Amino acid sequence: MSIKLTIKFIMFFIKFFKVVAFLIISTFFLNSCNGKLPGADARKYSTDPKERVQRNLDEGRGFKLMDSMNKNKSGVFEFATSNELWRASLDVIDFIPLASVNYSGGIIITDWYSTDQKSNESIKISIRFLTNDIRADALDIKVFNRRCSTQSNCAVSEKKGSLIPELKEKILKTAAIYEKEKKEKEKK
């Protein structure tokens, strides 16, 4: 009987210790907040819900569903058709079949391309976007050259030369034209 009583006493003591520990820890955390939760000062906020909503919208904390219905404003879209640099790159290399295009990853990779089918030499272009801004350091363009003596015996090397600067210049000029057209369209 004394063992059962001892076990009950220990169980009661453990429960009591858990409650006391919880209260001490809670008091510590509430004390670090000066006893109040942040942002709960009613003097700083209006009692009118419409005013609170407008204030939150002005501070950028929310959105209005009806804003999308407003025909005078157009949104900022973060997809390929609104990115002039991306569109220009695709337009400049549109004669080459594409192997991989990943807008979210910011890369375009063409397939191997040769001007004639009898040639044993072909090129592959890789365009990596470092920024969406139209500037000289926005693109990392690499051109690879493949020479095959037989169907299974090919040597691949990175090609250096005038093609990379020419591609970059053409893409940047085309993107600048697209950006100018977009700005003129927005003015109207």
> What is the pLDDT of the chain when averaged over all its residues?
79
Question: In the prediction, which pLDDT does 103 show?
Answer: 84
Return d(Cα 152, Cα 137) in angstroms, integer. Answer: 37
pLDDT at residue 141 is higher than 80: yes
- Does pLDDT of 62 surpass 60? no
d(CA 141, CA 168): 7
Q: Residue 40 and residue 58: Cα distance in Å, rounded?
A: 19
pLDDT exceeds cutoff 80 at 42: no
State the first-to-last Cα distance of the chain, in angstroms, to the nearest integer: 94
Predicted pLDDT at 108: 93
The answer to whether residue 172 scores a pLDDT higher than 70 is yes
Mean pLDDT of 9-35: 79
Of all residues in the chain, what percent carry a pLDDT higher than 70? 76
Mean pLDDT of 18-47: 70
Asked if the model's pLDDT at residue 136 lies above 80, the reply is yes
The pLDDT, as a whole number, for residue 81 is 59
Characterize the bridge pairing of strands 107-110 and 139-148: unpaired
Q: Please give the Cα distance from 183 to 157 (Å, whole number).
A: 41
Q: What is the rounded average pLDDT of the residues 51-79?
A: 57
What is the mean predicted confidence (pLDDT) over 50-58? 72
Q: Which of 16-20, 81-85, 172-176 is least confident?
A: 81-85
- How confident is residue 142, by pLDDT bands cut at 50, 70 and 90? very high
The reported pLDDT for the residue numbered 65 is: 52
57 falls in which pLDDT band (50, 70, 90)?
low
pLDDT value at position 34?
Answer: 55
CA separation, residue 32 to residues 19, 37, 98, 120, 176 (Å): 20, 10, 59, 74, 55
Q: How large is the average pLDDT for residues 87-92?
A: 92
Per-residue pLDDT for 160 more than 90?
no
Of residues 176, 110, 109, the one with CA closest to residue 138: 176
Cβ contact 128:106 at 8 Å: yes
